[in-house]
Amino acid sequence: MTCDLTLRDVRSVARIVNLAHRFNCRTTQIAVQADTTVIARFAFDGPDVALGRLRAQIDRIMSYEADLT
Amino acid sequence: MCCATSGPGATNLVTGLLDAMMDSVPLVAITGQVRTELMGTDGFQEADVCAITQPVTKRNMLISDVNRIGETIAEAFALARHGRPGPVLIDIPNDILKARTDATAVCEPLTYGGAGPRASDAAVRDAVARIRSARRPVAIIGGGVRAGAVDLYRLFVAMLGLPHAATINALGAAAPGDANYLGMLGMHGLKAANKAVQRADLLVALGMRFDDRVTGKPDRFAREAAVIHADIDATEFGKIVAADVTLHGDLRETLRALVDELARGHVPRFDDWAAEARLLGGPLPSDRVENDQLSATGVLDRLFAAIPDDAIVTTDVGQHQMWAAQRAQPAHPRKYATSAGLGAMGFGFPAAIGAAYANPGVPVYAIVGDGGFQMCLPELATLRRYDVPVKIVLIDNQNLGMVRQWQELFFSQRYSATNLADNPDFVAIARAYGIDAYAITAPAHAGDVIARFVASRGPALLHCACHPTENVWPMIPAGMTVDDLMEARA
């Protein structure tokens, strides 16, 4: 599973990596370009159920970030 | 909101933050931090609070500029309440707190612009079409109802004559006396609620998240039912139970849309099915208790009959929490507070203190067990110091009762670390803090003592020395369904 994300808080990169570990997914790629916004590309490997859960949690992080001023 | 000092003060907040996260409670926490020049030196009481609390907050902020304190706090309050509510933490180094600023002292309250998510018209029409064609629909209301949706929820179920059940976070959502309300569902829920859900051909799940304590085994949960799922948090859709229709939006607005769409056409009635659903239950099973010993459920039955209708009840976590949830009939969800998702022992008593401050003049009862109460005994000093009129009902069965129950039923009676037979004298402890204390030791005295306790003024403790092995029934074992429901020991 690959995710191309535009984040506002670079700390979310660490959070996402930790979540992948928690769900027994392997983070196989991280590419981050951090400026005023953060462009991040992740690739994850793991069971489908775990990847689905990870995707949902990433979506939740994105929804919190969307609220930021 | 709450404040804590740096280091251990901040780390002690973690459980409360996670509790708020799990139960979608808006909370702003402000923590002190060591001064900026010490950060990274393992300074005295230094902790990386933002890193520690990242998974248990919607967001946290470390303030490094005194001029940003006001706007950051305004943003924190807005974010805590926006969308699905939750906790936000602000960490402020000591030197920033002491610094002078010319910034505006008071910031205008901040609200996030733009409309939040709103269920699409097509999804609302689809949901209503499914309701109209259903034969055995059941509504399940969850904690989302606390977002100002109580009146519309009551209207929605009433216009349909719909049988409905509540998660523990939605106790009080049903209108008082609503005969179609089947009670709490889930592991220790009422039989009628669980059986009706299992027999349903349509679930209307409103502001609830299909927690494992509700669903047990998801692939056997409500097998015959199509699912309409309404929630403010889109990540809940399909997380545990697949939904046929998703209604993404604020629950109050979603309910308004459902009611309006129903009113535009045929409004079905489900009175016959509701009557049938009610008959799936029966009285709550009681456990064996010898005649001369006090039954916790008996005490709670008497207590709920004695306390005022407008009382606020908080509970701790464990058997008493489930017995109370089975019996309580709060007038509104905001009249009942418990640690639901996290199940954090030690919640009930401090929560009652907060409720009393937020609702002056309203009677507040904290129902606690002997295990959880001992996790927050120092708060007795708070109660006395500020004369907070909280009434504590201590269900003392000399056990960590829920764990003991599981050890009895599922671990071959191999009891470990659950026996609290060496409990202290709780009445003496309360009196040592200057708090009135009452005690019930036998069923014959219960009514009289409860009456005097309820009528007393100011803070008070009611100690109930209950049977040590009374269990909570009914029970759906973890990971199973209502088909496996237990109503007594095997």
Q: At A66, is the pLDDT very low, low, confident or very high (cuts 50, 70, 90)?
A: confident
Q: How many domains does chain B have?
A: 3
Contacting residues for A60 by C-beta, under 8 A, at least 6 apart:
B233, B235
* B188 is a domain residue: yes
Percent of chain A with pLDDT over 90: 84
Q: Which of B81, B105, B129 is the last residue of a domain?
A: B105
pLDDT confidence tier of residue A65, bands split at 50, 70 and 90: confident
Residues B171 and B270 in one domain: yes
CA angle B429, B325, B15 (to 5 degrees): 60
**How far is the C-alpha of B189 from the C-alpha of B300, rounded, in Å?**
16
Across the interface, do A69 and B59 touch by the CB < 8 Å criterion?
Answer: no
Tell me which chain A residues have a C-beta less than 8 angstroms from the C-beta of B79: 64, 67-68
Cβ atoms within 10 A of the Cβ of B364, count? 26
In a domain, B111, yes or no: no
Q: Do B235 and A18 touch (CB under 8 A)?
A: no
pLDDT below 50 — which residues of chain B? Answer: none
| Pairs of CB atoms within 8 A across A/B | 31
Q: Does residue B165 lie within any of the structural domains?
A: yes
Question: What pLDDT, on the 0 to 100 scale, is given for residue B282?
Answer: 86
pLDDT for B366 equals 98
Are the beta carbons of B110 and A11 separated by less than 8 Å? Answer: no
Is B488 part of a structural domain of the chain? no
Scored b (16 or more CB within 10 A) or e, B387-398 reads ebbbbbbbbbbb
pLDDT at B107: 72
Q: Does B310 share its domain with B434?
A: yes
pLDDT score of B285: 86
Compute how many other C-beta atoms are within 10 angstroms of the C-beta atom of residue B452: 13
Does the structure's ipTM exceed the value 0.90?
A: yes
User: Do the domain assignments include residue B480?
Assistant: no
User: A63, A65, A68: best mutation site toward chain B, by most B Cβ within 10 Å?
Assistant: A63
**Full DSSP string of B334-388:** GGEE---SS--TT-HHHHHHHHHHHSTTS-EEEEEEHHHHTTSTTHHHHHHHTT-
pTM over 0.90: yes
pLDDT at residue A15, rounded to an integer: 96
- How far, in Å, CA of B284 to CA of B299, rounded? 15
- pLDDT, position B378: 96
Domain hosting residue B179, numbered range: 121-278
CB atoms inside a 10 Å sphere around CB B111: 11
B7 and B142 co-located in one domain:
no
For A21-67, strand residue ranges (E) read: 26-34, 38-45
CB-based contact, A15 to chain B, within 8 Å: yes
> In terms of domains, do B330 and B247 share one?
no
**Tokens 């089975």 sit on residue:** B326
d(C-alpha B426, C-alpha B372), whole Å: 13
- Name the token pair of B301: 């039955």
Does B287 reside within a domain?
A: no
Please identify, among B226, B250, B278, the residue that sits at the C-terminal boundary of a domain.
B278
The pair of three-digit structure tokens given for residue B133, joined into one six-digit string: 């064609």
B178 and B56 in a single domain? The answer is no
- Residue position matching structure tokens 């490997």: A45
Q: Is B392 among the domain residues?
A: yes
Query: What pLDDT band is residue A53 in, cutting at 50, 70 and 90?
Result: very high
B239 near A CB under 8 A: yes
Per the domain annotation, does B113 fall within a domain?
no
pLDDT surpasses 60 at A69 = no
Note whether B164 and B66 are same-domain residues. Answer: no
* Chain B from 55 to 94: CB within 8 A of any A CB: 55, 58-59, 75, 79, 82-83
